[in-house]
Amino acid sequence: LKQQLKKKQPSWKSLGTNKKGSVMGLVLIGCGKMGGAMLAGWLEQGVEKETIRIIEKDAAYGESLNAKFGVRVLDDIEKLEEDFDAELVVLAVKPQVMDDVVLGCKHLATKSNFISIAAGKTVSYFEGILGEEAKIIRVMPNTPAAVGRGMSVAFANQNVSSKIKETCTNLLAAIGQVSWLSDEALMDAVTAVSGSGPAYVFYMTECLAQAGVKAGLPEDQAMTLARATVCGAGELMFQSEESASQLRINVTSPGGTTQAALEVLMGPDGILKPMEEAIKAAEVRSKELAG
């Protein structure tokens, strides 16, 4: 697995240099589940701790972050050292507190690149607070980021340079795979497919286990089988160069048991239509939440 991850992730040690040649700095605001996973990934990649600052208001939590990661923690972004080059500001707080956090970054609006991972917060929302010249990247990650296997999809406004986009790709590669959008409107579809997607796979696992119970297996054993099968199939797909369809064909002998099951799953009352409806529902909800 480690080898696979290495193969898929570029190797990089620092965030690069700015126009003046000094090493770029990164400010992480919000070091919870997602921010913490990203930070762990960056440090594992060898990014120098001195190039990162964490902003955390709660003193006790700040101390625990400092002890855990060895990265300097400040309780206010206004307290950044004057010679700290805040080229990148990663906004990893909940959408509900974003207004306050972004307002607090206004003094960096013309200097920094802002990378937001908050669901539903659009580029124009950030431009509305930081100004139209602000450099904004909006990212939708998903929960497997916690184990380095996330899918992050990013969109940048026209003010962001290609060099910064490349740095952002490296930053996100620390928590999994990265893909870029050229049309922000597709972010709702992204949210519906990869953002919410892990939950569909968990539910599919539950269904597989329940069907196993109906077929006579003890509940525990049915869940063990279902879970291991989903994890194993996911890992096989991750490691293989072959498409999902080809992997399916590879395990479907003509006239065999898999084919019998797939005729149901792929038939007129199969899972494609409910899946399309589910994605549509999530997409609609994503649009509603963004207002």
Ligand X SMILES: NC(=O)c1ccc[n+]([C@@H]2O[C@H](COP(=O)([O-])OP(=O)(O)OC[C@H]3O[C@@H](n4cnc5c(N)ncnc54)[C@H](OP(=O)(O)O)[C@@H]3O)[C@@H](O)[C@H]2O)c1
Residue count (the chain): 291
By CB under 6 A, name the one of 27, 29, 137, 223 that touches ligand X.
29
Q: Which of residues 139-158 bind ligand X (CB under 6 A)?
A: 140-143
- Total residues in contact with ligand X, by rule CB under 6 A: 27
Any contact of residue 1 with ligand X (CB under 6 A)?
Answer: no
In the bound state with ligand X, the residue whose beta carbon lies nearer, of 60 and 215, is 60
| Residue 276, burial from CB neighbour count under 10 angstroms (0-12, 13-18, 19+) | exposed
Check binding of 117 to ligand X (CB under 6 A). yes
Segment lying near ligand X (by CB under 6 A), choices 3-11, 53-61, 153-161, 245-253: 53-61
> Minimum distance between the CB of residue 100 and ligand X, rounded to whole angstroms?
6
Of 58, 219, 220, 235, the one binding ligand X (CB under 6 A) is 58
For residue 55, state whether it binds ligand X (rule: CB under 6 A).
yes
Describe the crossing of helices 59-69 and 33-44 by its angle, rounded to 10 degrees: 30
**By CB under 6 A, which span of 96-104, 160-168, 212-220, 241-249 interacts with ligand X?**
96-104
x-or-dash string of contact with ligand X, 165-194, rule CB under 6 A:
------------------------------
* 156 beta partners: 137
Determine contact, residues 219/213, Cβ cutoff 8 Å: yes
Query: Which CB sits closer to ligand X, 199 or 207?
Result: 199
Are residues 151 and 177 in contact, defined by beta-carbon separation less than 8 angstroms?
yes
Helices (H), 174-271: 187-190, 197-214, 219-239, 244-250, 257-265
115 contacts: CB under 8 Å, gap ≥ 6: 88, 89, 90, 91, 137, 139, 168, 171
The single residue listed with the structure tokens 């026209």 is 158
Residues in touch with ligand X (CB under 6 A) = 29-35, 55-58, 61, 92-95, 97, 100-101, 117-119, 140-143, 195
